[in-house]
Structure 1
Amino acid sequence: MERSNIRDRLIVRKRHEGLIESWHDRRIVAGARLDAEIDQQIKAADVILLLVRSSFLASRYCYTIEMTRALERHRAGEAHVVPVIVRGCDWQSTPLGELLAVPKDGKAITSWPNYDEAYADVARQIRRLVQSRQPHVQVKPQAAPPGAPLSAPVVEVVKTAPRSSNLRLKKEFSELDRDEFLHQTFSFIARFFETSLQELQARNPGVHGQFRLIDANTFTAAIYQHGKRACECSVHLGAGGFRGNGIAYSNDASSRGNSYNELVTVESDDQAMFLRPMGMATFGERQTLTQEGAAELFWGMLIRPLQH
């Protein structure tokens, strides 16, 4: 990753009045000394969030310089470094492996079925961290007293009681939850294919994408190159056994789930639902996927003949 793209790091700093102020390198003004500005912010920060993915680990500047400076302050007790795992990568073998990462259990944000839930978990954990650094007060908005200027900030400082941060409970998912998640996933994949075909056609002269929604449970897609059909597929909801709890992909546009090249089904752990492919298209590799991950898996199977 080039130095101009070192936005994979976010530094959060508390104001004296108890609010949170965020900083990142996009706030550096033109003409400023990049290294000096970043170093100054790292030295001033109370909480430093490292947005971790493979490009972060591969960046000499991010990994060797920024992360090293941040960890030095963390070990000295001057700041608190939190790895935010954005995409799956081998971060556990780095010095960051010694720290408790977010979201929960260091599970990459892109591996969550719902990205909003992942970011909400990050926000909750960062809020607890900030509050723990100021455990005796919190800022609470109050109505302005009579006669006070409307622009005058009015706050009330109240005591906060200590409590455990270990409040996570096991979640149970019903058949209705799973069925709704499966239907939402099919709708997401259909929209993903339709817009991807439109963009593919716009970017490549001589290429035409065709999307057809057959019914509520099936759509087909085809890609034509100079008028000749290069590849096609069908995606069908309700495949995978007598319960029909899967979404099937077939290289045959006429298939309706009776035969397929790949199948994703809904599974869950004690916190979230996710998608699991059978691995037929990836040589038996069964991975955990979000809705976007499943859509990318199917799309990659469709477009592969045009990329090799």
Structure 2
Amino acid sequence: MAIIFFSYSHRDETLRDELEIHLAMLKKQGFIETWHDRRITAGEEFDKAISKNLEEADIILLLVSSDFLASNYCYDIEMQRAMEKHEQGESHIIPVILRPCDWRSAPFGKLLVMPTDGKPITKFPDKDDAFLEVVNAVKGTITRLQLRQDSTPPSISYGSAVKPQILDIPRSSNLRIRKTFLDRERDQFVEELFEYIANFFENSLAELSNRNPEVGTNFKRIDANHFSAIVYIAGKKATQCRIWIRGTSHLYGNDIAYSSNASGSDNSINESMSIVDDGYALFLQPLGMASFPSQQNMKKLLSQQGAAEYFWDILLRPLQQGST
């Protein structure tokens, strides 16, 4: 069984959790055991626990972001020791680019990073695609580790009947506690959400055009906080929108606004989404202007992908209802 060590910034804990969920099948098959600093129990010495588990790791996942690079502990201690172990053949490093950042000049920049070509996970329209690339990289690494140890290793597949080794101390999976989200966390969430929606629209427009020869599209980044999207049918404008970040000075606070006019002003909106939380995570909540009954839509709590799909459905509605 390979031991996987997560080196990450606590600012990226949500993304780390998502990646660990995607690795669950390898856990169930008995191929891996994972460790990160949230496994440290009361009374343990923080530095000693991290050092011990880092030394025992077969695979070290560097979850890279600007916060990771800025962290003295992640960069100067965990990453430096991980590179030493990697170069000595004691463990294998897989750098995983979570968010856009200046990582190429870092010591691990010479290694093959995930996802492919170093595209940040948050830049994928569907993060599941990115996490699957990381899982496949982990599987490939496990196979290479097995080849070193055994001339006839079992292949890794989702249908494997390998019996897992039970190494975990039994514990509950219900470990969430309520928290208060700071303004900085909300602002960062809005910025990452906007980038996600922009990438989602750009890629979706390209695919829409590829699948429908009579369709033309235009995606435009107006500035850091605005983008527009237009769909043409047989050369005629059929549907359009503009999406942007609204600041905290207006009535509804920091949110994402949608207008059905690609060239309109910020004062005219057809829908917006506010940032809300359930005490555990941040979500998006539609105002309900573009869909009825509005009360039903106002109760929705959407993920990044759910918010992008919601706005995309509004854009495509004239095409799907035939009112172009």
TM-score scaled by length of structure 1:
0.49
Larger Rg: 1
The structure richer in helix per residue is: 2
